[in-house]
Each structure stands twice: as structure tokens, then as C-alpha cells.
Structure 1
């Protein structure tokens, strides 16, 4: 891209490019050059907006966490069935960039250290998904649609872990909805 040509929404353009590279090429293919090539801009553009590549990656991960639809799931409380709502939410989380972010965070020490400043525990995207699911389950428990004594935090973490195992191999086809539903039914005890 020629110098002097303005880019609109540079951060969003770079984050979207990073997501496409991460999904297509995995964590090892996610380089600053790959991102700027995918975004169709000069490499210097990334470095004008971020201190370094790990700083870019940390903001990318936090941006993708914000995109989890926590509000939509909470608003589903009391509607449909708990199993259907959870199956839909878990499928949305794991068919997003979430599964690809996990190894990126695990294998980049500097990225993980930067994320710890804002996200002190767990793998950020999975931890936020567990918080989202836990909040939904609490709302359903309050409505009497989940067992009164249910430990919703443990249920949420179990749902995230079990569903992550279904989606962990990014090179394999995505699991069938019926497989996700079976995990939800088993964990929730329906």
C-alpha cells in the first residue's frame, strides 16, 4: 500500500486479518508480515499502531474476547430449553477463533505475560466463555430451570473443557451439533 493512503478502521482491519491468518495457518503462521499481507497494508502500519507484535496480539486476543455474545446468552435465560441455549452458545464459541487462540496464548510466553496484566487467571478466551456460561446457568438456576444446588461455575468449566475436546483438532471437521448437544445433556444431567 502506498505511503500516505489512509486506512479506515486500521485496528479492526488488522485484527480481522490476524483472525483469518490464525484460522487458516494456525499460530505458527501468525506473523506480523502475514497479518499485514492479509490486511493488504504496509508492515509499518502495524508498528505505527502497536508497540510490537506481542502487543498487537494481546490486543487482538482481548478484542476477540469482547466479541463473545454474553448478553445474548443471558437474554436467552427462561426461553427455549437450557440444552438448546447452551448447545448454540458453545457451538458459537468454538466455531469462532477461540480454539485457534488457545495454542497461540499457550505457546507465546510474552503474549501470555502481557495478557496476565489484564487477565490474571486461565486462558483468556476460554475463561471468559466459562464466565459467560456460568452467568447464564446462574440465571437459569434462579428461574428454577437448573437444579437449585447446582454449582454453576463447575458446570460451566466442565462444559467448556468437554466441548473444547470436541473442537481441539483444528484440522479435523467440526463436530456435529448432536455431539455438542450430547455433552451438554450429559453435563447438565438432562
Structure 2
């Protein structure tokens, strides 16, 4: 792209380019040159908007975290409809798409990035921690409606589901596990928290 040409929504354009590289080629291929080449702009554009490449990556991960947190309101909105297990299984499938798995690979493979993210996510794995909190909020809403037993620990359930889901979806090269398998895992985790019929 010629110098001096304005780029609309530079941050979003760079984030979208980074996400395409991440999904297509994996975390190790994510460099500032790969991002700017994918975005069709000069390398200096990235450095005019971010302190350095790790700053860019941290903002990329925070952007994905914000998207997960925004979907939390929609998830809480389905409380009381469908089945709890079905809603959780759908949320897991939505969460653990190729992009989220790529972001998790990025976070776990770059120490400097993780250190920057510790400022906002002091414990756990950034993105997974926030997804667990979102899911815990949904499960608490279902508990309030009597669709989970009153004494269940929604935080523990949420993080167990998130950890199990991560293991279930990881390493499949962008192909989600069968819905029945996701449902089985979620159903098993939630079984003790579901009121028994009769």
C-alpha cells in the first residue's frame, strides 16, 4: 500500500489479518511482517499504532477476550430455555473454534505475551479464565431458576467444563469433535448438579 494512504479501522484490519494468519498457519507463523503482508499494508503501520509486536499481540488477545465476555450476556439470556447441558455444549462449540484455539496456542507459546496479559488476567490462562467466568455466570443464572441444584458450585463446574472442553477440542486441526461427544462430556460434568426427576 502506498505511503500516505489512509487505512480505515487500522486496528481492526490488523487484528483480522493476524487472526487469518493464526488460523491458517498457527502461532509460530505470526510475525509483524506476516500480519502486515496479510493486511496489505507497510510494516511501519503496525508500529505506528502499537508500542511493539508484543503490545499488538496483547491487544489482539484482549480483543478476543472482550468478544467472549460480550457473548456472555447472550448466553445468560438463554437461561431457562432449552436444556442446561445443550446450552453449555453450544457455548463450548462456539468458544473453541479455530481462532480461539489459535489464540490459546499463541498465549501459551509466548512468555512475554503472557507476562503482559498477567496485568489483566493475574491467574489462569488468559481467554480460558474469562470464558470460565462467563460460563459460571450462566450456570449461576440457571441455578437461580432451579435448573441446577441449589448447593452446586457454579465456578467449579464452569472451570471443569472449560478445561474438559479445551482438551476435547484441541489438536483437531480445525475440525470440531462430534456434537454427541461434546454433549457427553458436558452431561457428565453437570450430572451431579442437575436436579433428579421425581
Q: CA deviation at 1:171?
A: 2.2
TM-score in terms of structure 2 length = 0.93
* Contact 2:79–2:138 under 8 Å retained in 1: yes
Q: CA deviation at 1:117?
A: 1.1
Superposed CA deviations along residues 51-98 of structure 1, whole A, max 9, x for unmatched, are 000000000000011111111001111111111111111100001522
Superposed CA deviations along residues 9-36 of structure 1, whole A, max 9, x for unmatched, are 0000111111111111111010101111
Question: Unpaired runs of 5+ in structure 1?
Answer: none
Structure 1 pair 172–72 and aligned structure 2 pair: CA distance change class (3 A): closer
RMSD value, Cα:
1.1
Report the Cα distance in structure 1 between the residues aligned to 2:120 and 2:168, rounded to whole angstroms: 28
Q: CA deviation at 1:101?
A: 1.3
Question: Unpaired runs of 5+ in structure 2?
Answer: none
Superposed CA deviations along residues 87-125 of structure 1, whole A, max 9, x for unmatched, are 111100001522111121112111111111121111111
Q: Hey, what does 1:159 align to over in structure 2? A: 161
What SS does the aligned partner of 2:118 have?
helix
> How many residues in Structure 1 have an aligned counterpart in Structure 2?
190
Q: 1:173 aligns with which of 175, 179, 182?
A: 175
TM-score in terms of structure 1 length = 0.97
- Deviant stretches of 4+, over 6 Å: none
